[in-house]
Amino acid sequence: MASSPEDRRDGSLLEVPPGAEPRSLLEFLSSRLINRSKASLRRLVGQGRVRVNASVGTTGQTVRPGDVVALPEEVRPGPLPQQALPLDILHEESGHLCINKPAGHPVLPGRGGEGAEFYESLVAYLNRDAPRGGPYRRPHAVHRLDTDTSGVLLVATNVEAARALSMQFQHRQVAKQYLALAEGVFPREQATLDIPVEREPGSVCQMRAARTKGAHAVTEVQVVQRFGHFTLLRARPVTGRQHQVRVHLAAVGYPLAVDRLYGRRDALTAEDLQRVLGSAVRLPRGGTLLVRCPLHAAAISYAHPATGVPMAHEAPLPADIERVLAVLRKHDRTPAPPLHDG
């Protein structure tokens, strides 16, 4: 359908190509304007600033081959981002992938675009063979890992898979396992931490064990290895609250060995470890052993979003946590106290 003179003055024109599947206006824009978030595109359409065949468009409106979409002057299809980070892909197929997320990177950029390296690298990877101008594949984060948390991240690469996987998370049909290095010698072989959580008053991100009535939160923990002053734990979150594992371990007195929000230090240095272990053990001085939370998403299991076949993937411990464990195995061998599983 021909565009109007008003559309041609307004900005860029995008035509739905022959053979394209009918889809919503929002999904069409999302596949072409890969350098803009879906939230910003939704706002743009909601403000009446996108036209389809000379009429104001709506997000759920179906566009078909031959339709012409007119964008505001300041909105231009931009180039694909560059892949700034190497990506450790654990599994990939049509519709979704599992990736071993590195520590130090948020899953999604902040509102100001900060911390975009991981997300943009994933966009670049998914569209490495895409034609210029799209359509592009957009990653859908169906769950999150904290910035400092490494390990298995499940990502959908189309809308249908995103909906199916999101429903599995909503119905607690996805099983996740974390490895966590906690401060102190955990006294039981396994425990269920059933502790409601709530947001820390005045904070936009920090949580705490609820003082009165909070959100239901359950984490199952199991000892993997005890040291004299630390414990390597396997944590299975039954619910999926923000910072749940970190808050629960801190609430029972065994915070992560490094945790700037809920723990006793924001880094673990050789001097820190020397003070914990005592003067009888000599460690190299001046070195920082760990600069982030020792929390690693080690495994995930779920049903294939299209076929329902059970799937499972694992991510090996990263080098920084392995390095600390090697030091503890060598130097932190103080006998643990008796266990009480009753």
Please say if 266 is a catalytic residue: no
| CA pair distance 152, 134, nearest whole angstrom | 28
Q: Tell me, yes or no, if the two domains 5-70 and 172-331 fold the same way.
A: no
Q: Which CATH superfamily is domain 88-167 in?
A: Pseudouridine synthase (3.30.2350.10)
pLDDT in tens, 258-297: 999 999 999 999 889 988 888 667 777 668 999 999 999 9
113: amino acid identity, one letter: G
Q: State pLDDT tens for residues 133-188.
A: 889 999 999 999 999 999 999 999 999 999 999 999 999 999 999 999 999 999 99
Q: In the predicted model, is pLDDT for residue 124 greater than 60?
A: yes
- Of the candidates 5, 14, 2, 4, the residue with the CA atom closest to the CA atom of residue 41: 14
Please give the pLDDT value at position 282: 74
Residues 231-242 have pLDDT tens digits of 999 999 999 999
- C-alpha 176/C-alpha 181 separation (Å) is 17
Q: pLDDT at residue 1 above 70? A: no
At residue 339, the pLDDT reads 52
What integer best gives the mean pLDDT of the chain? 91
Of residues 10, 67, 146, 332, which has the active-site annotation?
146
| Domain boundary assignment for the chain | 5-70, 88-167, 172-331
Which CATH code is given to the segment(s) 5-70? 3.10.290.10
Residue type for position 188 = R
| Reported pTM | 0.89
Q: pLDDT per residue over 178-221, tens digit each?
A: 999 999 999 999 999 999 999 999 998 899 999 888 999 999 99
pLDDT band at 11 (very low <50, low <70, confident <90, very high): low
Q: What are the start-end ranges of the H helices in the chain?
A: 5-10, 25-32, 38-46, 117-126, 159-170, 244-251, 270-277, 319-331
> Does pLDDT of 7 surpass 60?
no
CB 85 within 8 A of CB 42: no
Q: Which class is 172-331 in CATH? A: alpha beta
What integer pLDDT is reported at residue 76 of this predicted model? 83
Q: Say if CB 144 and CB 169 are below 8 A apart.
A: no
